[in-house]
Homo-oligomer: A and B are copies of this chain.
């Protein structure tokens, strides 16, 4: 075990993943729990986030227990130097969750305050989940060594984490990286955020489901439709990725459509930020393996001045589904907001 141990907890749309990580990035313990989807009853005066907070605390306590079982006989709070938590949505400098379209009940939650109280005296830091993922991939993964990189987390929605000028870019208010809500088609489908045609309506897991249902309605996904019981509205993203992996051409075409929209958004980001590498992570990554070459080709056709610029790398996340939790642990062991600058 090298250096101080920290906990990193990644709150996803469907599950909460917690890791205990040592100072060299080695994972010492792992615990999971499903993300509670229960909303508070109307008029209860509760933000609805209690269940989320309780589950995070539960995961943290199971990690502390696991460290004890592993022979660390110090008091609970001495086993770790800090806890980092990544949450989906806009997190302000005080650790409040300000906007959380993909975490029902999370909006307006004082994540840092509540957790600091329940986990005292252990220090708690809270940040956007994609910012955590970029930190994990930048320090220990596919973006290591890059001065400019973008980590794209493809799950229910699309999150982003930015490395600019050799540092994590948070923006003026800590809200940078909300790349999934870049509008790429103002006449496109409605988004829970209130706009139309956000990138994540096309290139995320929920986007894949939508593209698949459109294809099913249009008769371009007959095998998958039959397996789903014949109702186009019952077709899910998972059905398409499974069928594509099994060689179904209709399903592969739908994945190709997703890949084209993915490439379009990446090209937009390349034009704006000029990263040397894109790192693709999140739950959709396994499916992307099937279309990564078409994505690269489409990207080359869409990025400005392709012939005059060296190739931009498009890599899959090396830490897999652990990027966010590892990054949250890295953030926890540093001076958090002040920091985020890679050691030279």
Seen from chain A, the residues whose Cβ lies within 8 Å of a Cβ on chain B are 90, 98-99, 107, 146-148, 160, 162, 164-165, 167, 169-179, 181-187, 193-195, 264, 267-269, 271-276, 301-302, 304-305, 308-310
Contacts and interface: CB of A to CB of B under 8 A. Distances in A.
A186 to B, nearest CB: 6
A272 to B, nearest CB: 5
Given A90-B309, A183-B267, A264-B183, A273 B169 contact: yes
A269 B178 CA distance: 9
Contacts of A107: 308
A90 B178 contact: no
A310 B99 CA distance: 13
A304 B193 contact: yes
A164 B148 CA distance: 12
A170 B274 contact: yes
A308 to B, nearest CB: 4
A183 B184 contact: yes
Contact of A273 (B176, B185, B302, B305): B176
Given A165-B167, A182-B271, 5 more contacts: A98-B308, A148-B176, A164-B165, A172-B276, A195-B302
A335 to B, nearest CB: 15
Most B Cβ at <10 Å: residue of A107, A272, A301, A308: A272
A177 B269 CA distance: 10
A119 to B, nearest CB: 25
A184 B184 contact: yes
A240 B276 CA distance: 41
Given A171-B275, A172-B275, A185 B182 contact: no
B272 A160 contact: yes
Most B Cβ at <10 Å: residue of A160, A169, A305: A305
Contact of A274 (B176, B182, B183, B274): B176
B268 A308 contact: no
Given A175-B274, A193-B304, A183 B268 contact: yes
B90 A272 contact: no
Contacts of A195: 302, 304
A171 B147 CA distance: 8
7 contacts: A90-B309, A148-B171, A173-B276, A178-B272, A178-B274, A179-B272, A184-B186
Nearest to A177: B272
Given A99-B308, A185-B186, A176 B272 contact: yes
Contacts of A272: 160, 162, 176-179, 182, 269, 272-273
